[in-house]
Structure 1
């Protein structure tokens, strides 16, 4: 059986490693991995996508099934608000988080206590889900563990369903202080279901970091596929598909015939290529093409002439930091929408300054995880924040994209220099930005999305893992972040495995 997989991200690589038959993987870039990649500049290693990997009972069982060894390092997390910082050790660190919030918002002490109780319960539920190997990667000897687990898991799935409302609404029902609501929910993608948002505290203690960077995971899968006589076409972009004659066409007009096709790339791109005079397909296509993705991210990469010890005194190598307890408020809601609709250049510049002051930053410091990630005595920082693709596209279309990036870098660095990193501003060796447009161009993902569909509207897919691979296109299956929601590396792996199993 001839199997073609389009897209060499983590879901496509997983599908390639598990698919049976004559398998061809087609990737538009010169290497696989997609948003699971690590790159180097002047001796500094940076992550081009995800900053760390989540175990969640999926990645290590998958690697074990494929006989892949992966050297891992701790990925410890710190959380900071203004001058208060806590360091996550395990799930009991939630008590330190509770104390920090109460010190910052003493008038909301009872509300914080009630919220922490809910977070604890959510963490307990997630611990149950992750307490066994994912069944997709289990061996027969593991089956004995599933019966007692299943009864507990059913209760967890019920709890997940009952906490499906957006995190913003969930918090507004329980907390009266808008700033406190912002400080909690601006960690998350807009409208993220509350169960997944409140499980983040458990997730913080379940991260790990591969020796050499997160991109090593993709490299290991890529090498395993090639060792098993798989074939990869790099620098090859699929621009057309004939679902009747069963072939895809690349940018050079080359045809590749398949018996089964797994689409592990942008789903809108697939549906724009296909037309079938079938009511089910037409309805499915309309849903997908009209749906919007979740937010993207804006990232600044900075090389600093300062030893890692300076930063280690402040936080761990994965740091969620909010400079002001005031929170973003309407800056990332109504004010943002006005700018996107008809904001002037000057209004956007003024908005950037406030966005920088009150935002929450995800700061990754690779050298605090892996000593080989930076030249001796120097430190690389990856500073990210959630960001709306529509604004960066407006700026690009108006012709001041590079200037916009300069303002973003200036205000982010000023904010962090005045708050948590006094030594930062005057010690920069080099800096550069990656915007949602960067992600869109590199990963070929609609609007630079990193986790798939928006949570604001009804999902355009059947949101069931068991059905995640299915499409109404004959002999075509889907995998990756567009196949299931919420998504991330573990879910990308699961959808890739499910697609391989389906064929």
Structure 2
């Protein structure tokens, strides 16, 4: 039965069926886990609470516009090396996506009229920075070159489960230098590396926002391993937008899952992870049905997993310690805009970051992120129009306790403030509006099923790199976690890594 047929008919499964793995949620991490296992011959079922797959990498249609739920700055679609995890995940189940390369990762609009483009060409990017900061040119090159050392270590090996001794032993003997190189960087953060080479406080602030736009924390709290991947892969594999929108990634993974014999069931909200003798053995759905599996994988956040799907009072001590180290990041206030194409002058870049005051970078609504995917794929909007997705960090606490009237009024008031700020880089934006839909942390929680609408975990304090980030196995036997709450963290390529690792670990545990 096809995915569409399941969604339309509400097909059910025999309660006596036992799957090799049930995956809760069809975010990219969950789908990569499912497809990797299905490709190995496992009997896999994905349960998705919504109507379509993808989670934060989903989409929605409005009045001729196809909007991405999240950002459109996509890593992982390179054609060489091993860090092109989205390309590899699709290929494993016989799928591929046509992509459009972006010559510039992002254009920064920063305090003191600091305007910088991160060009795909590495030397061009360094030259632009050197022109802005000539006294720090040597240190800037040394810093980004060191990030390349991390990337080259990662790119030399298959990225699978760091919890599986056989894999670690094999990869160490195949790539001893790369493994030892990564061990060196595991306990370090970006700020530690940057200050080795750079003293100019404004350059260090630039490194902060280079980290913040994907880690939601400054350089001192961003693991060097992650930065090595992001700061280098944008020049190696590049930023590539999937034609048809980001939602195509999940759609293609689902197609591949089905071809490999796996199944997905929509409008199937899991309300409980079933345990017997302390071991996860199944899930209970909102309709009361129980489904069983040898392994259970949660693609929900760890807060949702251990505070909602399992009894909070029985939370393992390891999870309590993790929550002492990490907290929920903010969610986002999002503006999904349809605009007259004349608003955007020729040469406008696809991705922008706007910040007027350095002191506001981490504050709610301080930094504005902008994606304009129709500059890469015009088919997503009606002719003569573009999509602008503008979003900024926002906390759930600021949106609670409001009546429906107050909630709507606040949405419109905050949207007006953001639009006025965006006029700085897009003059005439207000006058050129054709469509606007506003999303808040409450929207993210409702449609994505994420605790407080959070983007993912961030450190409560400075931690030693990735050493405290949990892997896929949990303290509950038979239960695994995948996605941005696990190593290596947020971002589509990162959660794909998590999916590869989770599937590898489960396959080893199943003896496959």
Interval of TM-score (by shorter of Structure 1 and Structure 2): 0.7 to 0.9
What residue is the counterpart of 1:193 in the other structure? 222
Give 1:85 shift.
4.8
Q: Is the 8 A contact 2:153 2:179 kept in 1?
A: no
What residue is the counterpart of 1:283 in the other structure? 317
Q: Is the 8 A contact 1:470 1:478 kept in 2?
A: yes
Give 1:482 shift.
1.2
Is 2:497 the partner of 1:494? yes
What residue is the counterpart of 1:62 in the other structure? 89
Q: Is the 8 A contact 1:75 1:318 kept in 2?
A: no
Q: Is the 8 A contact 1:193 1:455 kept in 2?
A: no
Worse overlay, 44-53 or 205-214: 44-53
Is 2:73 the partner of 1:52? yes
Q: What secondary structure is seen at the aligned counterpart in 1 of 2:414?
A: helix
Is 2:439 the partner of 1:406? no
What residue is the counterpart of 1:215 in the other structure? 247
Counterpart Cα distance in 2 of 1:259 and 1:211: 37
TM-score with structure 1 setting the length: 0.79
- The 4+ residue runs of structure 1 with deviation greater than 6 A are 145-149
Q: Is the 8 A contact 1:237 1:250 kept in 2?
A: yes
Counterpart Cα distance in 2 of 1:473 and 1:462: 21
What residue is the counterpart of 1:243 in the other structure? 275
Counterpart Cα distance in 2 of 1:207 and 1:228: 29
Give 1:317 shift.
1.7
Give 1:180 shift.
5.3
Is 2:23 the partner of 1:5? yes
Q: Is the 8 A contact 1:367 1:374 kept in 2?
A: yes
Match of 1:319 among 329, 349, 352: 352
Counterpart Cα distance in 2 of 1:46 and 1:474: 39
Counterpart Cα distance in 2 of 1:194 and 1:494: 16
TM-score with structure 2 setting the length: 0.78
Match of 2:375 among 365, 368, 372: 368
Q: Structure 1 274/162 Cα, relative in aligned 2: closer, same or farther at 3 Å?
A: closer
Match of 1:254 among 289, 296, 317: 289
**Structure 2: gaps (5+ residues):** 1-17, 77-82, 162-169
Q: What RMSD, in angstroms, separates the aligned Cα atoms of the two structures?
A: 3.4
Alignment of 1:56-455 (within 5 A): 56-77=83-104, 78-81=106-109, 82=113, 84-86=115-117, 88-99=119-130, 101-102=132-133, 109-111=134-136, 113-130=138-155, 134=159, 150-154=175-179, 156-161=181-186, 163-164=188-189, 174-175=198-199, 177=201, 181-187=204-210, 188=212, 189-191=216-218, 192-193=221-222, 195=224, 196-197=226-227, 200-205=230-235, 206-244=238-276, 246-272=281-307, 273-274=309-310, 282-288=316-322, 291-307=326-342, 311=344, 313-322=346-355, 324=356, 327-329=357-359, 331=360, 359-385=366-392, 387-389=393-395, 392-399=396-403, 400-417=406-423, 419-454=424-459
Q: Is the 8 A contact 1:190 1:294 kept in 2?
A: no
Q: Is the 8 A contact 1:242 1:248 kept in 2?
A: yes
Aligned pair count reads: 451
Deviation sequence 1:375-429 (CA, Å, 0-9, x none): 11111111123x142xx42333254433332232212221221x22112121111
Worse overlay, 156-165 or 52-61: 156-165
**Structure 1: gaps (5+ residues):** 103-108, 137-144, 337-351
What residue is the counterpart of 2:12 in the other structure? none
Q: Is the 8 A contact 1:301 1:380 kept in 2?
A: yes
Counterpart Cα distance in 2 of 1:225 and 1:26: 13
Give 1:162 shift.
5.7
